[in-house]
Structure 1
Amino acid sequence: MKAIFRVLAATTAIGMATGAFAQNVTMKFGHVGNPGSLFEATVDNFAACVNDSMGDKVEVQTFGSSQLGKDKELLQKLKLGQVDFALPSSVMSSVDDTFGIFEMPYIISDRDHMRRVQAELMDVFQSAANDNGYQIVGLAENGFRNITNNTRPINVPADLEGIKLRTPNGVWRLKMFQEYGANPTPMAFSDVFTALQTGVIDGQENPYAQIASAKFQEVQKYLSITEHVYTPAYILMSKKKFDSLDADIQAGLTDCANKTQDFTYERAAELETSLLKVIEDAGVEVNTADKAAFIEASAPIYQQFADEVEGGQAMIDKVLGLGTPG
């Protein structure tokens, strides 16, 4: 009889342990943002939301500054199950041309416009992600991008002639700056500071939050406010991993991603003011570029996207049409 009780007790213990394991999933969130960046704030906010609301089921651990890999490596690690979340931005245009719509210059006017695009076209973006083995849990942002360099102020596209400019690993950004006359050089974000410092490249383009947190103002002479591209960021998982989760966990992650988007937009708007001052105070010369000239020079990129991407013109028309409410 004692032996039977011992077997039952052991079986119960195993069952309890299995249940406890199923209810305590540790998930790794890797990203390329430096301390103080919008990426770090976004990921930390998402992790705090998940850990507070689902602490008995899920714990999200965060790893910034490319600790778990650069953007392309993180995309691969998602599929291999080595990382659970990543926060890619421009690199998504190399995953599927659909995401290249956000590489079109000046196509997104503000965050309210982005929300309308999200409401109307999220199914399109999710389908493109799913087709490539990913699941968009939610959207955040990288932000409005501006140009820094050590050669000259950039007022019109012709001022970019011959400038070695770092770009993310996205084909459409490369094409855009080639069209403007620059010499674009794709490079991982974590390598940019040293490349600027040593003169391997002359400049780069990023939102203020990335510029300031990476301390590019310490190795750049000029900041030109172009706001040439608005790039969303994607709270991304592998589709396989997301589909394997219980429905309540999926719902909880999605809910926290939506709340994080609200936080990120508010935080980003604050940083646009405070970090511009940080960059100016570092001695960087600031000018506002002639956006009309850049918009005019961007027409060939729009045409290329329309010609090369299936449904490209319809997507351009849709996004531009959502620019004005009503």
Structure 2
Amino acid sequence: MNRFVASLAALLTVGSIASAQEYKIRLPNVDPPLSHVGDMTYPNHTYAMMRTFKDSLEGLSGGRIAVELYPSGTLGDLRENLEAVQAGILEAATPNEGTVSGFFPKIQLTTIPYVFPNAVVAWDVMDGEWGQQLLNEMAETTGIRAIAVGENAGFRIWANNIRPVTEPKDMSGLKIRTMEITAHQEMVSSLGALPTAIPWLEVYNALQTGVVDGAELPVIGTLQQNLQEVLKYATIDQHVYSLVFIVVNEDWYQALPPDLREAITIAGRQASVAGRGVSQTLVSDVIDEFRKRGVEITTASPEQIAAFREAAQPKVLEWMESQFGEEEVNKFLDAVKAAEARLAAN
């Protein structure tokens, strides 16, 4: 247990003595509750999940479970929060797929580049049999159970200060920031760029000082961190659909009465829908705001996306198969195809 987690354990233990007879979920996140886009103010997409989960669960449980929200990084960063959940110090956390990959590497299957043609297919896969089996495996092997699967601002974008990116060769030689997730780094290198893992809160300085030429980024978070101030070009190409979760400690969850576990499941489903809806609304407005603030936006055509897919997917698929096996990769790809078939017009 690292020093931060130990300190957090001591702090939270003191705070919970007075209410030892109550069920309580402490739910943190690193972002502020509100997102500001031009003259408009929205709930942050992750906070929308958190707030919906709180209101739903407290109602469904008849007040037997109290949910306390801790936005703005007041309980540490995403990795620290997830470590605390795994250790049983925190009941819940709100990690993205990048953070989860450090605890459950197989989540990286969802980051195969250009695999999801749209958000609705991604929802269908994650809410369906394949997604639920994956998350059950995570609970069994890590002690961390995902009870809500939201949208971390949807599809991620490429952004840089050197040139517009309209085809794979435009990525060649660019130093690109990524999350600390191997699958993302494999994707960047497959396009001829140089991946550099940089923590989220250090990205602004890295772009400003030229440590990197560009970055692989979340749409909404880019504006929240004012990265438009240090970026010239952005490409919308749907290369990775990003997830955000509400997770709970598995032992804590299994120790609850069955009716409260059911309430958590229902509240988690509601939170997933709320987060996705807010994210979808925010993304379009944020991209418009980029344009107003001087960022040159390229929206890739289907033909351009196909060229990126052809360049990026083979190397990443090869890496995925080396890590998780060809059968596991094919199960995921089959789940995507099945979702597309279900959603296709007759």
| Structure-1-length-normalised TM-score | 0.86
1:138 counterpart residue number: 148
Matched with 1:320 is 336
2-side partners of 1:25 and 1:313: how far apart? 39
Specify the alignment match of 2:8 in structure 1. none
Q: 1:135, 1:237 within 8 Å by CA — same for their partners in 2?
A: yes
State the AA in 2 paired with 1:130. Answer: E
125, 129, 135: which one pairs with 1:120? 129
2:207 aligned with 1:199, yes or no?
Answer: no
Corresponding residue pairs, total: 308
3-state SS, counterpart of residue 324 of structure 1: helix
Answer yes or no: is the 8 Å Cα contact 1:90–1:168 preserved in 2: no
User: Residues 152 and 107 (structure 1 numbering): CA distance in 2 closer, same or farther, change over 3 Å?
Assistant: same
| Aligned partner (choices 278, 289, 294) of residue 308 of structure 2 | 294
Aligned pairs for 1:1-326 within 5 A: 21-22=20-21, 24-34=22-32, 35-36=34-35, 37-54=44-61, 56-91=63-98, 92-118=100-126, 119-121=128-130, 122-142=132-152, 143-289=154-300, 290-297=304-311, 298-310=313-325, 311-326=327-342
1:296 deviates by 0.5
**Normalization by structure 2: what TM-score?**
0.81
Unaligned stretches of 5+ in structure 1?
Answer: 1-17
Distance 1:163 1:129, change over 3 A: farther
Deviation at 1:215, TM superposition (A): 2.0
8 A Cα contact 1:101 1:315, kept in partner = no
Deviation of 1:60 (Å): 1.6
Instruction: Give the match for residue 5 of structure 1.
Output: none
Contact 1:30 1:74 in 2 (8 A): yes
Q: Which residue of 2 aligns with 1:12?
A: none
**What secondary structure, in the 3-state scheme, does the structure 2 residue paired with 1:304 have?**
helix
Q: Which moved more, 1:32-41 or 1:268-277?
A: 32-41
Q: Post-superposition shift, 1:323? A: 4.0
Tell me, in whole angstroms, the C-alpha distance in 2 between the residues paired with 1:32 and 1:315.
Answer: 33
Q: Which moved more, 1:191-200 or 1:247-256?
A: 191-200
Task: Give 1:300 deviation, angstroms.
Answer: 1.9
Shift of 1:147: 1.2
Deviation, structure 1 residue 101: 1.2
Question: For the structure 1 residues 33 and 315, does the alpha-carbon distance in structure 2 shift closer, same or farther, using more than 3 Å as the test?
Answer: farther
Query: What secondary structure sits across from 2:277 in the alignment?
Result: helix
Q: 1:33 to 1:86 in 2, by over 3 A?
A: same
SS of the residue 1:283 aligns to: coil
